[in-house]
Amino acid sequence: MLERNAAHTNPDQTEIVPVNVFIATVAALIIGVMPSWAGPLHDAAKDGDIARVTQLLSQSSDLSEPDEAGEPALIIASLAGRADVVALLLDRGADIEVRNKGGLTALHAAAYGGNLEVVKLLVAEGADVNDRKNFYQMSPLHGAAEEGRTEIVAFLLTNNADVEATERNGYTPLTQAGWRAHWDTAKLLMEAGAVCQKAELVGEPLYKECTKRQ
């Protein structure tokens, strides 16, 4: 679900620059199509079927067990914005730091998916807003900035999110927002102290546009 292996072309260079973009399974979950390999708990979590989730938990479903794509139920519910399911899973002992096979957490999923209620719930329950212990070395702020989730970016910033954190390719949340032309989001990041990255890293067009707005 939260696998990120797409690419973005730097218009000022010939090579392909990797960018933090989630691939096909994310889209499947967002539009409401659950792949055939999803288990009952994962399916119910995605659908927000609280009664079914409760029933399955009473039958000793393993909270940490991933589906065949490597996604635990807590991450699926967080991406889908099912705050009541997220709260129930946490109440029943789900690990708030459970990770998918790429090392991403429920907070990464909620931030990327634009689910502010879930983001607030997870942070209140102790989720690390600066978690970068994943293959991509991305923080939840990277995911929110990339998708232009302005309200979530603002919330994370008020909860001490590191505005200059870099993911594995060296890009900050501001660069992620800029590449996707989410300038309202970029403005928030700049107001919080984010600085435009150098042209040799991000390309001359983005650098010029960013510094013009700085």
Ordered domains of the chain (ranges, CATH): 7-213 (1.25.40.20)
Question: What does DSSP assign to residue 9?
Answer: E
Specify whether the CB–CB gap between 92 and 57 falls below 8 A: yes
Contact 1, 26 (CB under 8 A): yes
Among 65-69, 79-83, 184-188, name the one with the lowest average pLDDT: 65-69
Q: Encoding tokens for residue 57?
A: 């938990």
d(CA 75, CA 78): 5
Check: CB of residue 156 under 8 Å from CB of residue 119: yes
For the entire predicted model, the pTM comes to: 0.84
At position 26, the amino acid (one-letter code) is V
- Residue 78's contacts (CB-CB under 8 Å, 6 or more residues apart) are 86, 106, 107, 109, 110, 113, 115, 118, 122
What would the pLDDT profile of 195-211 be if each residue is shown by its tens digit? 999 999 999 999 999 99
The angle formed by the CA atoms of residues 84, 119 and 100, to the nearest 5 degrees, is 85
Which band of pLDDT confidence, cut at 50, 70 and 90, is reported for residue 61? Answer: low
Closest CA to 108 of 164, 160, 147: 147
Cβ pair 78, 122 in contact under 8 A:
yes
pLDDT digits (tens, 9 = 90+) for 80-112: 999 999 999 999 999 999 999 999 999 999 999
Per-residue confidence at 65, pLDDT binned at 50, 70, 90?
confident
